A and B are shown apart, each in its own frame.
Chain A
Amino acid sequence: DSGVTQTPKHLITATGQRVTLRCSPRSGDLSVYWYQQSLDQGLQFLIQYYNGEERAKGNILERFSAQQFPDLHSELNLSSLELGDSALYFCASSVAGRPGGGDTQYFGPGTRLTVL
């Protein structure tokens, strides 16, 4: 158990809908990251938040957005869903407090999104 929790575990929805994925980081971690894992794209970085502020952005679609709340949990919002958005969405957390230093990202169990 990494200490990172994600809800829900599974989500089935229809095209055009909007869903929210939730992540709670490990105790003490200030950074939250979102990744998407799909068969055709592999594991791709979406976005990072550090202490409530966006810090890094990857290949995140405009239909997707995220935020990190004062209690440090994060939500990933996916809207106008398409069939191709079906994937496993991972949240990870790390301390990320040391400028320029390496730190370790610990991953949650993921949310499997199926868009029908």
Chain B
Amino acid sequence: AQSVTQPDIHITVSEGASLELRCNYSYGATPYLFWYVQSPGQGLQLLLKYFSGDTLVQGIKGFEAEFKRSQSSFNLRKPSVHWSDAAEYFCAVVRISSGSARQLTFGSGTQLTVLP
């Protein structure tokens, strides 16, 4: 069965500092990977996704992530964090069982606090 691990429950960074959120996955086939962000009281917004090709993918709001098959990782990065980035971040892998069947498995999330 597929699984996603986000080892950091809570991360605090200062505004303007760089950020890296860790994500490790377990999946038997080619993984399709996602990062979503959830602001308080809001739904899940897609930041970026990896399906194939270039292992460094760019997303919205200045985020990027790098897929490393050898490490089963898909870490999210941002060179300079803004106060508005404070939110909870979820890594996810999609399981494709057959045909059009899909389901996302999420990590437990990383809560990001940004200090002024």
Contacts and interface: CB of A to CB of B under 8 A. Distances in A.
State the majority secondary structure of interface residues on B: strand
Interface residues of B, number: 26
A86 interface: no
Contacts of B108: 42
Contacts of A110: 43
Interface in A61-101: 90, 92, 94, 96-97, 99-101
Nearest to B94: A102
Contacts of B99: 55, 99-100
B100 A33 contact: no
A107 B102 contact: no
B90 interface: yes
Interface string B34-75: 101000001111100101100000000000000000000000
Interface of A: 2, 30-31, 33, 35, 42-45, 48, 50, 55-56, 58, 90, 92, 94, 96-97, 99-110
Interface of B: 32, 34, 36, 42-46, 49, 51-52, 90, 94, 96-106, 108-109
11 contacts: A30-B100, A42-B106, A45-B103, A96-B102, A97-B100, A104-B49, A105-B102, A107-B45, A107-B46, A109-B42, A109-B43
